[in-house]
Amino acid sequence: MSQSPTGFSHEAHPTPVPASERAELLRDPGFGRVFTDHMVTIRYLEGRGWHDARVHPRVPLSIDPACAVLHYAQEIFEGLKAYRLEDGGTALFRAGENAARFRRSAERLAMAPLPEELFLQACRTLVAADRDWIPEAEGGALYLRPFAIASGTYLGVKPSDEYLFMVIASSVGAYFKGGERPVSLWVSDHFTRAAPGGTGAAKCGGNYAASLAAQAEAIAHGCDQVVFLDAAERRWVEELGGMNIFFVMVDGSLVTPPLGGTILPGVTRDSLIRLAHEMGIAVREEPYALDQWQADATSGRLAEAFACGTAAVVTAIGHVRGGGVDFAVGDGTTGPVASRLRRALVDIQRGRAPDPDGWIERLF
Ligand code: COI
């Protein structure tokens, strides 16, 4: 066991996965199935604050059955990636945005906020410990999953006075099995994801749990993903189960639903808006109705639509069904605007393009 200058104690895995086995796992990792050797934990206790920051072998947790998170879902998480750069280095992409969102999510879930610098140190420390797990292949990355749970032991409905923050890492390839093939969407007309005043803008497990019945419905109807409408009017397109959405008009301009409490403020969403501005592409953050979407796709006013997120990057939408609609978007391939934005984003993440806004933090 050693102590680092950042205050993290380090315990190296005594029996890490052998290099040949790791290489085999990294050949086609899929998403969220291949996990690395180590993890980070940091504890919080009211009155003492955040303490006991450690990177150590990845182990199962042992928690009391009355642990608060198991009952009232006081839990938040993040998703960000460490990328292999063109020159062999490794970098994080806009990790400060994830740290800030994690703090906002904590506030919404009445959890103790983790200082943003500690969040970043935790991510950097885990990437350094598990650097051999970053896939080399184009499209591959080390997906970091920071999360925090209420770890107090009680059954009263109240904010916990103990929390456990952890970071685990997963070597990943494409999020969707079909790779870059356009996905089909199922419009959920009776389930909604988030209501005004709810937790839609927070990255908490509960939002994703609430999306699963709708996602199962999408799969049952032969679609890849669910797309949610707003809870108040059941009219405005909001987001997918775990991704934001963009529409590309035939004049090349973009439309994306505005943030306003019910939509997750995606880091990829924000990055694409900025990249589009830099490319001279107009972006309107304004409500877009499902019936308008169908009318525009049918009349040809809409050229493309795509989903975006850290996991999915930029994924074209090819078909939309359910909720009284059934229509194709574009010609069934990834359109030129989605391709161009995806390439611009990935080129920055991989260190192949200039990074004027300082989005990349080189770790080593
Ligand atoms: C991400 O894109 O990182 C997400 O959080 C989506 C999903 C894997 C939960």
- What are the pLDDT digits (tens) for 264-278? 999 999 999 999 999
Can you give the three-state secondary structure of 121-182, one letter per residue? HHHHHHHHHCHHHCCCCCCCEEEEEEEEEECCECCCCCCCCEEEEEEEEEEECCCCCCCCCC
Can you give the pLDDT at residue 176? 79
Q: How far, in Å, is the centroid of ligand 1 from the Cα of 40?
A: 20
What is the best residue among 147, 243, 306 to mutate for testing ligand 1's pocket, by most ligand atoms within 8 Å of CB? Answer: 243
**pLDDT over 80 at 177, yes or no:** no
Q: How far, in Å, is the centroid of ligand 1 from the Cα of 156?
A: 31
Can you give the pLDDT at residue 138? 85
**pLDDT over 90 at 74, yes or no:** yes
What average pLDDT does this structure show over 46-52? 98
At 220-236, the pLDDT tens digits run 999 999 999 999 999 99
Q: What whole-number distance in Å separates Cα of residue 219 and Cα of residue 217?
A: 5
CA-closest residue to ligand 1 atom 5: 79
Ligand 1 site, residue 79, Cβ cutoff 6 A: yes
Can you give the pLDDT at residue 62? 97
What average pLDDT does this structure show over 176-190? 86
Residue 335 pLDDT grade (very low, low, confident, very high; cuts 50, 70, 90): very high
At 236-262, the pLDDT tens digits run 999 999 999 999 999 999 999 999 999
At 317-332, the pLDDT tens digits run 999 999 999 999 988 8
**pLDDT over 80 at 1, yes or no:** no
Q: How far, in Å, is the centroid of ligand 1 from the Cα of 313?
A: 10
Ligand 1 site, residue 290, Cβ cutoff 6 A: no
Residue 181 pLDDT grade (very low, low, confident, very high; cuts 50, 70, 90): confident
Q: What whole-number distance in Å separates Cα of residue 286 and Cα of residue 207?
A: 23
What is the best residue among 212, 310, 315 to mutate for testing ligand 1's pocket, by most ligand atoms within 8 Å of CB? Answer: 310
Residue 5 pLDDT grade (very low, low, confident, very high; cuts 50, 70, 90): low
Which residues, including other chains, have CB under 8 Å from residue 332's CB and lie 6 or more apart? 182, 318, 319
Ligand 1 site, residue 146, Cβ cutoff 6 A: no
